[in-house]
Amino acid sequence: MKSFFKHLFATVLGLFVFSFLMVCFVVFLVSVLMLFEKGPQMPEKAVLTLDLSIPISDKPARRSLQDVVQEGALGDNIGETITLRTVLDSIESASNDDRIVGIYLTGQVPNAGYYSGWAALKEVRESLARFQESGKPIIAFESAYDEANYFVASLADRLYMNPFGTLEFNGLATQIMFFKNAFDKYGIDVQVTRVGKYKSAVEPYILNKMSDENREQIEKYLNDIADVYLEAIASSRNVDLKRLHVLMSDEGYFRAETGVMEGLLDKSVYFDDVLTELRELTGTRPGEELKNVISIATYRKAITPERHGSKNQIAVIYAEGEIVEGPDENEVGSDTLAKLLRKARNSENVKAVVLRVNSPGGSVTAIDVIQRETRLLKQQKPLVVSMGTVAASGGYWISAYADEIIAWPNTITGSIGVWGMLPNVGRLLDGVGISVDVVRTAEKADMTSIFRSKTEEELAVIQRLVDFFYNEFLTKVCEGRNLDREVLEGIAQGRVWSGVEAHRLGLVDRLGGLYDAVDAAAGRAGLGEDYSLVQYQKKRGFAEEILKTLGLTPQSSQVEGFKSLENLKKQIALLNDPKGVYARLPYDLVPR
């Protein structure tokens, strides 16, 4: 027995020593790599490339370990995103940078949730329009265009498409899938509670098609977004707006030749023709590999050291994704965002806060935790909300107490309403011979069970909860926005509005983007131009993630300069409100 424990101790000690040496090796490797890491070098006569196929996010997104490993092994940029601030800052800097001689636009805008949404694309487009004032050209080329990437590319000085490509110009649409017949077929019943005739999140489970109210609101905000789209193209392409309406209605898809004839494109060319122009811009000789082409992300890294910041800070905090209870860095975790708001409130250097909201809402409990922090913050320093592609329902709830709310015309907002959904799979279990029995100490002890339908009395209890939360939602918006209760009740009811309509109705203060919100915050804090931006939500670098996984506390000197790695934990369930009550948009309303 003594010999056994001796060998066991030796084995454990050996494993400990091995683990310790591995940790030391990793830390040493990280330090050596950092020592030899060199920042990107800026060439002269460079063309800045904006690849629209890379999703544009508000806050820095994180990628999984598998994505990072695959990127390193295969060179695939799996899960890559670029932040809106990176794009905007780079374009602004490029307009005054003599080393940048033009911008090249390429890539198809991905359908990636709320990334690269219409409001973000509008903001990028406005930034590119300001770049044009420098006199430097913007060249755009794609084999085909849909509405999203044509919206951005249409302002290019030279807009090209492959001769065999197609230009999609058939309007915007959003599709909703309805499950009632399938639920009936498989024995799944759904009981719902809601307030607001436009609060249609539950409709796919209880109807076979849209209600009249839902169709009305969707048609209204889709047409508003389409108007923004068409007016922008009419202006940049110098095409009559009425003609664009006719083309959209009668044609829908154009060959390159027709697009040129209608003024929607400049030329029908192949990529080698575009390469010739890029060679001329960058000073690349014919036959040589194209040089001096730099991506937005690389350019941002190259210019970042040149920036100097003021001690007066404006904190930019992002609420992007579903609002869920607890800590969550991928979605809008209530504990995570509340902590960031408290950090900004308690920081002596932070003089104002911009809350960028790109969220359809979510858990009512989580939403109110966040709003509590916005109210406390507003008592001490200015708070300005910048609305992205979607800031509706719970996304609007957390915005209501801001000193100022700024949205784009094509932002999706409003949806002031509350709903609850109670599934019942009892008939499904009956059909396969499974039964469920229960023992309870009180009549309503199993009220949240998914194995039986709720009684009228139980439904009344839940409806009272929903009514209470809706009434609180209205009260908070009235107080935060200084709106008359009767007026608000007329524009609430769960109805979704475009940014332009929300501005008309008083739900937002003015139209604009992220940096308009920064300027407003600086003005309210009396900072003038003497401020710097601070961003708490950052990508964890490769070295930082390794050290964190090993249980070590990473130092900034060890991690700077490496590519980011997404948080390794799995995404928690999004619908996690303990009462099952939500202030959330009906669907993922990002029309394409």
Q: What residues act catalytically? A: 199, 393
CA angle, 522 then 525 then 527, to 5°: 60
- Give yes or no for a contact between 539 and 60, defined as CB atoms under 8 angstroms apart: yes
Q: Give the other-Cβ count within 10 Å of 259's Cβ.
A: 25
- Looking at residue 163, its amino acid is P
- What backbone torsions phi and psi does residue 350 show, to the nearest 5 degrees? -80, 120
Q: Distance between CA 145 and CA 128 in Å, rounded?
A: 18
10 Å CB burial of residue 5 (0-12, 13-18, 19+) is exposed
- Give yes or no for a contact between 340 and 317, defined as CB atoms under 8 angstroms apart: yes
- Looking at residue 541, its amino acid is G
- Two tokens at 290? 């194209």
Q: Distance between CA 122 and CA 462 in Å, rounded?
A: 41
Say whether 364 sits in a helix, a strand or coil. Answer: helix
- Give yes or no for a contact between 532 and 310, defined as CB atoms under 8 angstroms apart: yes
Residue with tokens 């990127």: 71
10 Å CB burial of residue 289 (0-12, 13-18, 19+) is exposed
Residue with tokens 């930019």: 316
CA dist 430 to 15, 180, 184, Å?
54, 19, 13
Q: Give the other-Cβ count within 10 Å of 1's Cβ.
A: 5
Say whether 267 sits in a helix, a strand or coil. Answer: strand
- Two tokens at 554? 């990473």
The residues facing 386 across adjacent strands are: 356, 406
CA angle, 329 then 331 then 335, to 5°: 60
Say whether 101 sits in a helix, a strand or coil. Answer: strand
CA dist 221 to 216, 394, 482, 500, 558, Å?
9, 18, 24, 9, 48
The residues facing 314 across adjacent strands are: 352, 533
Q: Distance between CA 499 and CA 413 in Å, rounded?
A: 6
Q: Distance between CA 535 and CA 527 in Å, rounded?
A: 18
- Give yes or no for a contact between 207 and 291, defined as CB atoms under 8 angstroms apart: no
Kindly give, in sequence order, each residue whose CB lies less than 8 Å from that of residue 544, ignoring residues fewer than 6 positions away: 554, 558, 559, 562, 565
Q: Distance between CA 398 and CA 370 in Å, rounded?
A: 6
10 Å CB burial of residue 429 (0-12, 13-18, 19+) is middle
- Give yes or no for a contact between 366 and 325, defined as CB atoms under 8 angstroms apart: yes
